[in-house]
Structures are given as structure tokens and as C-alpha cells.
Amino acid sequence: MPLRPWSDIVIRDCAESLAPLPAALFRIEPHPYVAVGAPYGEGACPFRLRTGVIQRLLQAQTVLSTAEPGYRLAIFDAWRPIAVQRFMVDYAIAQECSTRGLNPSSASPAVAAVIDEVSRFWAPPSLDPATPPPHSTGSAVDLTLLDGAGELVDMGSDIDAIGAVSEPHHYRAVADTTPDAVERQQALEWDRRRRLLADAMESQGFAQHPNEWWHFSYGDQLWAWQRSQSEAIYGRASDG
């Protein structure tokens, strides 16, 4: 898997600790990666982030609920150790190969294409402290919207879906090009919901992953690259 365009950005970690997400932030449980066997280790909690990131999330939720009364943030995933990143990369490749009827162990061009596509969404599980996967820093979060009835909002694709449908502005392009009025209206609504989430997060300084409507971070290398910052303030976070 190739390095990212932000991988050469210097990290000067500010040494904030990881902290559990407060009750005010809704957690999607059971945790999706724990449910498929990801190796977090005994007692390790994935619903943790750097303390400064948590405060920004709470502020983003206030902005969201003002813009769309009754809406809240719904946290899908937060801190992710390297072992889990490695497991989930392999899992995503195996799942996508299964969907396409491929053997992931083969060296075929079709499997290579799957690996390339998955790499657009899953960062390499690098152990190099200079190139940590975003979620390993405790500054990246995957999330969606929860409505006033306590139901997850349909955003037009599942979190972790592989393909163009996951790109933040995918449905804006669909709405601009489809001749079907019903399809256009649905695309516009999905785009509005994605923009609602992005606006709330970006109001608090978060940067959005260019390929994922659900992924936002503050303070890591991706954030520094998106925000034209010379340094990142969060490197890989330990479980301690």
C-alpha cells in the first residue's frame, strides 16, 4: 500500500492523553470491528480520542443540533491500534474479494486491483512513528448522524463502503448528471446530509478525508496536509 501525500509532514506530538468518549457522544455498539474479531486486546476500548479532539467533537455536535434540531453525532470508530489496522486492512481486502468472487490469496490482476481500491480507504498499518495511520493517533474519528428518533440517518452508503459512492461529494455529481428526477432528488438529499455532517465538523477545525464522507481528523498529518499546516500535533498514541 502506498504512502499518503501527507506522510512526509513532521509530527511534534503535544502529549495529550487518550480519554474515553463522554456519554453525550452516541456510540454505535457493538463496536463494528470488535464484532468481527479485531485484536484490540483485553480491556482495550476503541471509543477513545485525544482530549482536545473530544472537546471539538462536543462543540461540533452543538453546531449540528442547532442546524438540524434533534440530530446528534453517532460515533462508529475512534482510536485504532496498529494491530487492528492490519487486521481490518486484510479483512476489507478479503470481503471485497468475496464480493467479486475472487480468491484473495491469488496473485491475479483482479486481486491486485482490489488491493489498490482498498488502499484508497484504508491506511497502511505502518509501525514507523513518522507515518502513523490516522486512527492510531487518537485524532481521527469515523462517524455519522443520529436523528431525533434515535435512528441512524441514511447517508447514501455504509461507512467503509469501497468505491466512489463513499466520496464526500459523490451524490452532488450524481444530482448534476442524472436525467431521472426521482434519482436526482434522492441524490440531493444524501448530499445535503453529508454536507450537514461536514459543515458541523469543519466548523470546529476538523479536516475530512478526501475519499470518505465519514472520516474526520484534527491534529494528525492528514489534517495538517488539508489545512496547510507545517506540522502535525498528534502522532501514534499508546494504550497507556
Give the CATH number, domain containing residue 53.
3.30.1380.10
Q: Which element (helix H / strand E) includes 19? A: strand 18-20
Per annotation, catalytic residue among 16, 96, 167, 212: 212
What is the reported pLDDT for 45? 87
> Domain range holding 136?
10-232
Q: What is the pLDDT of residue 239?
A: 67
Q: List the pLDDT tens digit at each of the 240 positions of the chain.
A: 456 888 999 999 999 999 999 999 999 999 999 999 999 987 778 999 999 999 999 999 999 999 999 999 999 999 999 999 999 999 999 999 999 999 988 889 999 999 999 999 999 999 999 999 999 999 999 999 999 999 999 999 999 999 999 999 999 999 999 999 999 999 999 999 999 999 999 999 999 999 999 999 999 999 999 999 999 999 999 765
Domain-located, residue 139: yes
DSSP secondary-structure letter at 134? G
Q: Is 96 designated active site? A: no
DSSP string, 66-94: HHSTT-EEEEEE----HHHHHHHHHHHHH
Residue 34, in any domain of the structure:
yes
Looking at residue 2, what is its pLDDT?
Answer: 56
Is 238 contained in some domain? no
Number of domains in the chain: 1
Residue 147 resides in a domain? yes
In a domain, 4, yes or no: no
Q: Is 1 within a domain?
A: no
**What pTM did the predictor assign?**
0.94
| Residue 217 phi, psi (nearest 5) | -145, 160
Q: Would 237 be classed as within a structural domain?
A: no
Count H helices and E strands in the chain, helices first: 7, 9
| Degrees to nearest 5, angle at CA 217 with 234 and 23 | 100
Own/partner contacts of 88-94, CB < 8 Å, gap of 24 or more, are: 88/33, 88/38, 88/122, 89/1, 89/118, 89/122, 89/124, 89/125, 91/36, 91/38, 92/118, 92/121, 92/122, 92/160, 92/162, 93/118
| Residues 6+ positions from 66 with CB-CB distance below 8 Å | none
Residue 240 lies in a domain: no
